[in-house]
Amino acid sequence: MDESNSFTLQSDETDVSALIDKHETIERNLTWEVRKLEKDKVLLENENLRLDREVKSLKSEINRFRTPPLVLATISEILEDNKVVVKSTTGPSFLLKYSDKDANAVEIGARVALNQQTFSIVEVITSEKDPLVSGMEIEEKPDISYDKIGGLKDQIRETIETVELPLKNPEIFKEVGITPPKGVLFYGPPGTGKTLLAKAVAHETNATFIKIVASEFVKKYIGEGSRLVRGVFELAKEKAPAIIFIDEIDAIAAKRLQGSTSGDREVQRTLMQLLAEMDGFESRGNVGIIAATNRPDILDPALIRPGRFDRIIEVPVPDEEGKLEILKIHTKNMTLDADVDLASIAKDAKEASGADLKSICTEAGMFAIRDDRYSVSKEHFVQALDKVMNKNKNKENQNEGVMFG
């Protein structure tokens, strides 16, 4: 009897332990299911938030598309009591009132957006700018100072007096009682340093530097060139103090003739717009103009008269002393042998421009590299001088043989 009771107890204990194990397994499974459901809940909530944001974004986009377009207009006159006269792009002019918050932005020539129904001013928008004109502004100053220009002491002095002084110290001109010079024209053979002088001015002053090659003003359609000229001067006035540098100005400033093609007439219209801007029918403020050309003989007399270009500065081929200064500048960082005599090289480099002298120094260095040398010898300079100057002579001989140029 005792044996049967003990067997029954053992079987009951086994059943109980099995039930406990089963209960623990079920509890673990349920716990895992609960955690999985909680994670799914978090994911669904995040997805719901994302979808809500997307719905709001789409609704705002739909509302933006449903908003009626605004009418563009230009302010032509400012009156008292917050009133302005605007000329709309649709044709008629309107007398409107503007809010006090727009008072600082309202000025003659500014563009405004008008409501189509009430024609009230919704906002004052920025002026229209041609991307070609905006791209002419030089953001970083050129790394050219007056110390890096040799043989042009007189030209540098005149440039400082004509361009830098009116920008840095305009009070001197008021005290003396004269009007500051408007512009300076550099002329001379190619490679003598005209563009370098303009870059040096940009480096030495804190003015905005706007550089353009005159051929960029020549456009296909009527009025485009004049619009670009006007845009350049408007940009200069907006960024004042500023310097406008027009390189190769002979591209649009050649003498006007009686017989001309339609293309020539369009170039002449561009020139007339340039003359009008330089005359300053509207005040240009502290804006200086620098131009450069190697063909002064073909320039229109109306451009080079006093009042437009007040200083006309010749930038000639440097003399022997100037050539020596230029060679010293370009060989400053070069490793030279003891037998190199820069004065002798300057004497032998007859009719060489500043660009030719720089090319001679570069070629001498290339000859040294060709010989696996780390320093430049006299022989390398002789070879470079022969190569560069003979190349120039060959070009001159070819030009002499051309009948039509």
Residue 260 has pLDDT above 70, yes or no: no
Which amino acid is located at 175 in the chain?
A: E
d(CA 405, CA 400): 10
For residue 401, give the DSSP letter. T
Residue 322 has pLDDT above 60, yes or no: yes
pLDDT at 405: 35
pLDDT at 402: 40
pLDDT at 404: 33
pLDDT at 221: 61
Q: Where residue 366 falls among pLDDT bands split at 50, 70, 90?
A: very high
Residue 189 has pLDDT above 50, yes or no: yes
375-395 pLDDT tens trace: 888 888 888 888 888 775 555
Which of 158-167, 244-253, 323-332, 390-399 is least confident? 390-399
* Mean pLDDT of the residues in the chain: 79
Strand-by-strand arrangement of the 83-88 sheet: 93-97, 83-88, 71-79, 111-114, 121-125
pLDDT at 87: 81
Enumerate the H helices of 206-353 as residue ranges. Answer: 224-238, 262-279, 320-330, 342-348
pLDDT at 10: 65
Mean pLDDT of the region 15-35: 82
DSSP 41-89: HHHHHHHHHHHHHHHHHHHHHHHHHHSPPPEEEEEEEEETTTEEEEEET
Which amino acid is located at 93 in the chain?
A: S
* Structure-token pair, residue 116: 């189509």
Which of 78-82, 269-273, 282-286, 319-323 is least confident? 282-286
Which of 70-84, 154-168, 207-221 is least confident? 207-221
pLDDT at 403: 35
116-125 pLDDT tens trace: 777 788 888 7
pLDDT at 396: 53
Mean pLDDT of the region 90-108: 79
Q: Where residue 5 falls among pLDDT bands split at 50, 70, 90?
A: low
265-311 pLDDT tens trace: 777 787 888 888 877 644 455 778 888 888 888 888 888 887 778 88
Which of 252-256, 363-367, 374-378 is least confident? 252-256
